[in-house]
Amino acid sequence: MIELDFSKSADGLLPAIAQDWNTGEVLMLAYINKTAWEKSLETGKAHYWSRSRQKLWLKGESSGNVQLLRAVLVDCDADTVIYKVEQLGGAACHTGHRSCFYRVVDGDTLRVEGRPLFDPEKVYRK
Amino acid sequence: MIELDFSKSADGLLPAIAQDWNTGEVLMLAYINKTAWEKSLETGKAHYWSRSRQKLWLKGESSGNVQLLRAVLVDCDADTVIYKVEQLGGAACHTGHRSCFYRVVDGDTLRVEGRPLFDPEKVYRK
């Protein structure tokens, strides 16, 4: 198993960038600990550490929008990774947008680009 | 000035992903504090907070490989940004590689892809 340098951050978490394996679009950034990293490599599905819920998070466990790993890249310092993924369900963001990065800086405002692909209230049943 | 949620991390730093504005290649990930964020927007050049040197860092200040901001994206939680950049000098990584993500997980090893575009010893004079 490839070792990452989890000592680089105060909380032991490292950023993982999920990027569409085909188009190169950055879909989201979330955090991994050692368990999430190992689970991702073992299963071929992106796992993260949820900072809000403080638990291991299989991306798509609620929405079904699982991310299949097509390649995994490690940076020069072994403290950031890229998951090149096939995004099932079309959208990575909990807002229903394809990418979490759907807002562009436009002077002093944020301009929303594109429209949600799903309705979060229907996908995440409360 | 667009406000980010710097309270989201223990150390007050947020990740900024530098992505080639043209090809979509992810070049590097580094961290920003409020000053680095504001300096980036004000000057149109990517600034970060260097965790190793504990100082504001204009990317390219040593190497000349400045990153010109072509667009700036903010994620759904306002705690991660993408700098879409024109990378001067061709390479973003201190190793001389175009991208810091030049290693691909291949079973239990990391396979290096591509070759350095410059010799770090010549660019970073010690």
* HEC letters along A53-117: CCEEEECCCCCCCCEEEEEEEECCCCCCEEEEEEECCCCCCCCCCCCCCCEEEECCEEEECCCCC
Beta bridge partners of A60: none
- pLDDT at residue A2, rounded to an integer: 96
Higher pLDDT, A34 or B119: A34
* ipTM for the assembly: 0.95
With 0-12 CB in 10 A as exposed, 13-18 as middle and 19+ as buried, what is B34?
middle
* Cβ pair A101:B74 closer than 8 A: yes
Higher pLDDT, A69 or A115: A69
Decide if pLDDT at B15 tops 90.
yes
Amino acid identity of residue A51, one-letter, is R
Least CA distance to B16: which residue of chain A?
A29
Least CA distance to A93: which residue of chain B?
B76
Structure pTM?
0.96
Q: Which residue among A10, A73, A94 places its CB closest to the CB of B101? A: A73
**A112 and chain B: CB distance < 8 Å anywhere?**
no
